[in-house]
Chain A
């Protein structure tokens, strides 16, 4: 009787442990499938033209997505120039000066902002910048991406600064350095690795964003001509090409996906390495 119950207990123990491991394997299957398809179909699409040519009109074979690759880099660059410094400043405020209700509010806003769907950011930037400029533009796209980066950079900066031991700050202040000197050359410097990691992860995150670009930067079939003009990007091309009926465009979409995924993964891995080398990262 007791032996039977024990056996059942042992059996259900084994079963559940195996199920937990099986869940892990099952969840990783789609990852394998996605990476496999992106790699094989993407590689078939990549050639010299892909990186040097402009897209051809609908139905014509050949062509490339050079303008979209450049466009993605420009958009992400613009976003970084706006989002990273602002995020770091806000992070410094939270870690070094932020006490009381206002800091709580900023921290809370920041956390909640990471949860807002990115398409909402697109609508808002459309309503402010695109409407004011009366046209879709690289600037608008960059601002949308910067808004998405901002809370990510802020929170990692804060976390990293909090890891810096207080004795370092006290030592610097005791030597007669002013507070901003202390924060700038002592605290920020020792947290630099972690902050770079956080910023790069934010860059990787926004590089693949599509929804907010649909009504801010839109897209373009030509080379980039100015920050106040609409601009091509890889994510938007993947979206538009995947939803057309043309073989040739599907091929280019897979190529674009491979380039995009490679960019994102290389950035994330670089981020981790930067953090590890500087010792401050996760």
Chain B
């Protein structure tokens, strides 16, 4: 058999290695380009408004006022509503799938939950506009006002569109993320923990509550933060149901706006430089916040289990 000469072999090897090295460097380069582009694009707005950009409460492109507080408020509150709904449900799913479900139920249910993650965001939005919003307007909001209407959060006109609908749709969209990661975390809890509790005479639930959940605490917290990161960056579905009015109101029935949804709405229509720059700056804020949340979440989950592939993207 003819062997390639050592010379040419070394050539091929270094070429191949160099090629993969370049690709890897490209990844870091790409991330740098993203950061630099956002910072450069927001320069104009930053010099004009400085910190006032975050504290100003009036977003009015026609009059050149770009205070992003209402967007930040909308982003935070809609995400919190989503977490409030999604966290208990996702933990229930994770516990059910990791601890209770028999094998022949586990696989199909896991598949169904994954399916929830595979549906495009814009299809959630479409369903939201024509199914969820009418239900919120005619059933949920009247019900909430009747039972909890003494609270300021549940008063006002029934639009259907608004903060509440956005929170609900976000909850549906982040359930797969939180439940998949928490399930991985629970599965990583060593069996000896359970056996010890059961041997002491604990019931199944006591075992879960006192041994399994505390052991996986940091990982579950990581899962919740990953879900939060996703809720904050989610764009299409929210844009379609939140009503797109940048305002701060205590009522969850009111129309609102998030950072991501205002970018989707106004970016392609922003003809004046300052408006465009303000939107890029809003994007920079979003980028920084999701970056931090992701790093934090991954550090928390890494200690316990591995994060399933690609569970975070909007």
Chains A and B belong together in one complex: yes
Is the CB of B185 closer than 8 A to any CB of chain A?
no
Distance in angstroms between the alpha carbons of A137 and B19 in the assembled complex: 29
Q: How far is the CA of A257 from the CA of B127 in the complex (A)?
A: 10
Q: Give per-residue flags for A1-42: 1 if the beta carbon is below 8 A from chain B beta carbons, else 0.
A: 000000001101100110111111011101101100110010
Question: Could you give, for residues 258-275 of chain B, a 1 whenever the CB lies within 8 Å of some chain A CB and a 0 otherwise?
Answer: 001001100110000000
- State how many angstroms separate the Cβ of B155 from the closest Cβ of chain A: 26
Q: Are A119 and B27 in contact (CB under 8 A)?
A: no
The closest CB in chain A to the CB of B99 belongs to A20
A145 to B200, CA, bound (A): 54
Is the interface on chain A under 10, 10 to 19, 20 to 34, or 35 or more residues? 35 or more
Chain B nearest CB from A158 CB (Å) reads: 10
Q: How far is the CA of A106 from the CA of B233 in the complex (A)?
A: 23
Question: Which of B23, B34, B95, B116 touches A20 (beta carbons < 8 Å)?
Answer: B95
List the A residue with the shortest CB-CB distance to B279: A123
The answer to whether A116 and B16 have CB atoms under 8 Å apart is no
Q: Is the CB of A279 closer than 8 A to any CB of chain B?
A: no
- Which residues of A are found within 8 Å of B120, using beta-carbon distances? 207-210, 235, 260-261, 264
Contact: B205 with A12, CB < 8 Å?
yes
Q: How far is the CA of A122 from the CA of B38 in the complex (A)?
A: 11
Q: Does B124 sit within 8 A of A, measured CB to CB?
A: yes
Please name all residues of chain A whose beta carbon is closer than 8 Å to the beta carbon of B17 when the two chains form the complex: 97, 179-180
Out of B112, B131, B291, name the residue touching A37 (CB < 8 Å). Answer: B131
Cβ-closest chain A residue relative to B123 = A257
Closest CB-CB distance, A239 to chain B, in whole Å? 5
Indicate whether A90 sits within 8 Å of B27 (C-beta atoms), given known contacts A123-B263, A204-B118.
Answer: yes
Closest to B23 in A: A89
Q: Please choose the segment from B44-52, B60-68, B86-94, B142-150 that sits at the chain A interface, where 4 or more of its residues have CB less than 8 A away.
A: B86-94
Which of A47-55, A73-81, A149-157 is found at the contact surface with chain B?
Answer: A149-157
Given contacts A97-B17, A201-B310, contact A27 B236 (CB under 8 A): no
Number of B residues near A (Cβ < 8 Å) is 97
- Determine how close the nearest CB of chain B comes to the CB of A42; give it in whole angstroms: 10
Enumerate chain A residues within 8 angstroms of B3, measured Cβ to Cβ. Answer: 176
Question: Do B34 and A242 have beta carbons less than 8 Å apart?
Answer: no
Contact of B126 among A121, A156, A218, A238 (CB under 8 A): A238
Residue among B38, B127, B290 having the largest count of chain A Cβ atoms under 10 Å:
B127
Tell yes or no: B175 within 8 A of A by CB: yes
User: A127 and B206 in contact (CB under 8 A), knowing A119-B264, A119-B314, A238-B126?
Assistant: no
Q: Which residues of A contact B88 (CB under 8 A)?
A: 23
- Select which of B130, B233, B280 is within 8 A of A127 by beta carbon: B280
Does B80 belong to the interface (CB within 8 Å)? Answer: no
Evaluate contact between B38 and A150: CB separation under 8 angstroms: no
Structural contact, A208 and B28, CB atoms closer than 8 A:
no
Residues of A close to B293: CB separation below 8 A: 115
Cβ proximity bits B173-209 to A, threshold 8 Å, 1 near / 0 not? 0010001000000000000000000000001111011
CB pair B20 A96 closer than 8 Å: yes
User: Which of A109, A184, A201, A265 has the most CB atoms of chain B within a 10 A radius of its CB?
Assistant: A109
A144-170 interface mask toward B, CB cutoff 8 Å, 1 = contact, 0 = none?
A: 000110111011100100000000000
Report the number of A-B residue pairs with Cβ-Cβ less than 8 Å. 286
Whether B92 contacts A208 by the Cβ 8 Å rule is no
Contacts A242-B240, A268-B118 given; indicate if A117 touches B30 (C-beta within 8 A): no
Q: Are A119's CB and B92's CB within 8 A?
A: no
Interchain CB contact (< 8 A) of B309 among A24, A123, A155, A180? A155
The answer to whether A115 and B100 touch across the interface, beta carbons within 8 angstroms, is: no
The contact of A114 among B179, B283, B313, by CB within 8 Å, is B313
> Is A70 an interface residue when CB atoms closer than 8 A count as contact?
no
Question: Contact between B267 and A123 (Cβ–Cβ < 8 Å)?
Answer: yes
User: In the complex the two chains form, what is the Cα distance from A152 to B232 in whole Å?
Assistant: 20
Question: In whole angstroms, how far apart are the Cα atoms of A191 and B307 in the complex?
Answer: 21
Chain B positions within 8 Å of A124 at CB level: 33-34, 37-38
Nearest residue, chain A, Cβ from B229:
A115
B interface with A by C-beta (< 8 Å): 3-4, 9, 12-13, 15-17, 19-28, 30-31, 33-34, 37-38, 40-41, 88-93, 95-97, 99-100, 109, 112-113, 115-116, 118-127, 129-131, 172, 175, 179, 203-206, 208-209, 226, 229-230, 232-236, 239-240, 260, 263-264, 267-268, 279-280, 283, 286-287, 290-291, 293-295, 298, 307, 309-314
Q: Could you name 12 residue pairs across A and B whose Cβ atoms are closer than 8 Å?
A: A12-B203, A86-B23, A109-B27, A112-B294, A112-B298, A152-B313, A201-B309, A202-B310, A208-B122, A211-B121, A235-B120, A265-B118
